[in-house]
Amino acid sequence: MADTQCPCYGNTNDWKCSLTKPPGVPPPYVPAGTRPGWINTKGLVQKVIVECRNSAMHSVIKFQISSSFVMEWYDRGADFKKYTLTYYGIDKSCEITDLVNHRRFLRRLKVDTVTLENLIVGNVINIYGREMTVTEYADSCTKQFLEPKQERTFLLVRPHAVQCLGQIYEILARNFRILRCRMAWFTEEAAKAFYQQYSAESFFKTHSPCNICSCGRICTCCENAIQRLMELAGDIDPGKAKLKNAMSLRAVYGQNIVFGGVDISESPECVVRDTAFFFTDCRLMLPRMAPVAMIGKCSSLGIIKLMLCE
């Protein structure tokens, strides 16, 4: 069959014209000359691309209309209860349904504390006095669009760099969205548990894990967060980091390979492990760390009494 001219698309020999054809209009070019021409190689490519385009547009439209998340709330009378939160981007409203009983828990309305930026897996959101945790995405469409943009990573500040914690925080705030921060002192047991993956390293033979780990931890989030934080932190050796990027965190705040200034999670699995160690995702690890505020000889206590006047 000779190439034909289509009045709408010009030279129909180009199979890419199917990408711009209006919906419902049959493809103007069939290589084999008839409708069964889809079995032709170019026809297959054309058909697959048209179907993928329609599927992608459907996903985009659905995501703009609503996105769903699985929430968890601890009820003292009924232990942990799971709900489905549906967020509507059109009017920024949300509704919650009971995942087990399939009953409406909260009718659709706008809640000031619920925004798409806060709906991150692992985040805790206060909804009318109830602390609800986002545990997972409720559907594949929401996961497809939000998971790459809400990648989490973890940074740990070493003790010798804690005096510059304010500067490090400002640098991170300019490049990432900070989700959680925590200050705590390590015990020897907790330090060994956290650094057990590095127990074979040579510096552990001369330095105690409790002395080289930090009292400042920050969990951040953004698109491609792990790779971006690795680039911002620099090489693990501050000497090499100064040669590669003199403005990296380890180049500025690190002293040597042992006192490198900061530690970061380099894979999604490490992020899950590290955040679970310090934050509320895994409460079992928290008792291993001593509290920051400790009463000693140089401590003082002040009691403020609030008087209510009629």
Q: Is the pLDDT of residue 242 over 80?
A: yes
pLDDT in tens, 38-75: 444 444 444 444 454 455 444 444 445 788 999 988 87
Which amino acid does the sequence have at 23? P
pLDDT in tens, 93-117: 999 999 888 899 999 999 998 988 8
Which amino acid does the sequence have at 238? P
Q: How far apart are CA 259 and CA 56, in angstroms?
A: 48
Which of 92, 83, 178, 74 shows the shortest CA–CA distance to 130? 74
Contact by Cβ (8 Å): 108, 85? no
Q: What is the per-residue pLDDT for 9? A: 40
DSSP reduced 3-state for 2: coil
Contact by Cβ (8 Å): 275, 219? yes
Contact by Cβ (8 Å): 221, 120? yes
Mean pLDDT of 72-89: 85
DSSP reduced 3-state for 62: helix
List Cβ neighbours of 9 (8 Å cut-off, separation of 6 or more). 17, 20, 21, 28, 29
Q: What is the per-residue pLDDT for 291? A: 45
Cα 94 to Cα 7, 38, 109, 117, 213: the distances in Å are 48, 44, 6, 14, 42
pLDDT in tens, 123-171: 788 899 888 888 888 888 888 777 777 778 888 888 778 888 888 888 8
Q: How far apart are CA 96 and CA 109, in angstroms?
A: 10
Q: Is the pLDDT of residue 32 over 60?
A: no
Q: What is the per-residue pLDDT for 13? A: 41
Q: What is the per-residue pLDDT for 142? A: 83
Q: What is the per-residue pLDDT for 268? A: 79
Q: What are phi and psi of 82, to 5 degrees?
A: -110, 140
Which has the higher per-residue pLDDT, 48 or 183? 183
Q: Is the pLDDT of residue 218 over 90?
A: no
Q: What is the per-residue pLDDT for 267? A: 82
Lowest mean pLDDT: which of 3-17, 110-124, 221-235? 3-17
- Name the token pair of 231: 């680039």
Q: Is the pLDDT of residue 299 over 90?
A: no
Mean pLDDT of 271-295: 56
Q: What is the per-residue pLDDT for 162? A: 82
Q: How far apart are CA 169 and CA 223, in angstroms?
A: 18
Which has the higher per-residue pLDDT, 279 or 282? 279
List Cβ neighbours of 216 (8 Å cut-off, separation of 6 or more). 156, 157, 162, 165, 181, 182, 183
Q: Is the pLDDT of residue 257 over 60?
A: yes
Mean pLDDT of 272-277: 75
Instruction: Give all domains of the chain, ordered by start, each with its CATH number.
Output: 5-57 (no CATH), 65-146 (2.30.29.170), 151-288 (3.30.70.141)
Average pLDDT, the chain: 70
Which amino acid does the sequence have at 157? V
Q: What is the pTM of this model?
A: 0.54
Residue 20, Cα to own-chain centre: how many angstroms? 35
- Name the token pair of 189: 């047991």
Which has the higher per-residue pLDDT, 279 or 13? 279
Q: Is the pLDDT of residue 234 over 50?
A: yes
DSSP reduced 3-state for 131: strand
Backbone region of residue 84 per phi and psi (left: phi > 0; alpha: psi in -120 to 50; beta: other values): beta
Burial class of residue 65 in the structure, from the number of CB atoms within 10 Å of its CB (0-12 exposed, 13-18 middle, 19+ buried): exposed
